[in-house]
Amino acid sequence: MKIRFCGNNKGVKKIGARLKEEFPELDIKRKDCMKKCGVCKREPFALVDGLLVTAEEGEDLYQRIVAHLR
């Protein structure tokens, strides 16, 4: 499973590190910019196998990403 984070998105660095630690088999990368600036300004987000996953806070985003793993 591929998970991509925008390097400009607030708080996703910690989420990415936590996911890498707990799920080392995942393909997790942080890109400089993912061209999702409207979403990026408003809330934490990630692309999970190309699907946009958003949340109001970092912990919620983490939980939503983990839910996609199951």
User: Residue ranges per domain, the chain?
Assistant: 2-69
Whole-structure pTM value: 0.92
**CA 53, 59, 63, 65 torsion-angle sign:** positive
Instruction: Write down the pLDDT at residue 17.
Output: 96
Instruction: Write down the pLDDT at residue 70.
Output: 84
Distances (CA, A) of 11 to 3, 70: 15, 23
Q: Which fold does the domain 2-69 belong to in CATH?
A: Glutaredoxin (3.40.30)
Instruction: Write down the pLDDT at residue 2.
Output: 97
Check whether 7 has a pLDDT greater than 90. yes
**pLDDT tens for each residue of 14-61:** 999 999 999 999 999 999 999 999 999 999 999 999 999 999 999 999
- CA–CA dist 37, 27 (Å, integer): 23
